[in-house]
Amino acid sequence: MSYSDLQKALSLAPECKFYTTAGGKPESDIAKSEQMLDIKFSKQCLEFYRKCGYLSFFGNEIFGINPDNLEILSGNSVAFALNNRDAYNLPSKWIPIYDFDDGNMAYLDYSSLNNDNEPPVISAFFDGEEYVVSEQIAEDLGSFILRLVEEQLPSQPKKHKFGLFGSLK
């Protein structure tokens, strides 16, 4: 998986039903988010925030950043992470990016970077006492978004869903 997966995902995403983005985030919002989260975003994450800011299509919502509105958690990685760090001891190197709506969330796990300095996407849930990792569901943000996009496009070959919906392997 690679940066090319992110580029492909972002080029195909507009073909999905109900496609919408925030239109990209300015560098000031990105820098403020990095400072608030105490994380240096990866290349793919930076590209996603610069180009989309947030992405939604046909029942899928990839969280964006809005460091100036911490009141609404849904769809906002900054607000969600800061709230859950404080309230539930969310690991500081995890950045929420997707809600499976079944108690599991997808996180970028910055505690485990690959050779390209990209965090894997993991699925985890809070069991009432601590966060429990269900599985690694994608090698990086690009492969995660690409799989979501490809599942929605009729012209794309169908692949098995990942994570809680099936095996990554």
In order, the DSSP letters of 136-166 are EEESSHHHHHHHHHHHH-TTSPP----GGGS
Lowest mean pLDDT among 28-32, 135-139, 155-159: 155-159
What integer pLDDT is reported at residue 2 of this predicted model? Answer: 78
What integer pLDDT is reported at residue 72 of this predicted model? Answer: 86
7, with CB counted inside 10 A (0-12, 13-18, 19+), is middle
Express each pLDDT in 99-132 by its tens digit: 999 999 999 999 999 999 999 999 999 999 999 9
Count of C-beta atoms within a 10 Å radius of residue 11: 10
Lowest mean pLDDT among 24-33, 66-75, 113-122: 66-75
Query: pLDDT tier at 154 (50, 70, 90 boundaries)?
Result: confident
Only one residue has tokens 């079944």, namely: 102
C-alpha span between 161 and 108 (Å, rounded):
18
What integer pLDDT is reported at residue 77 of this predicted model? Answer: 96
- Count CA within 13 A, CB hemisphere, residue 149: 21
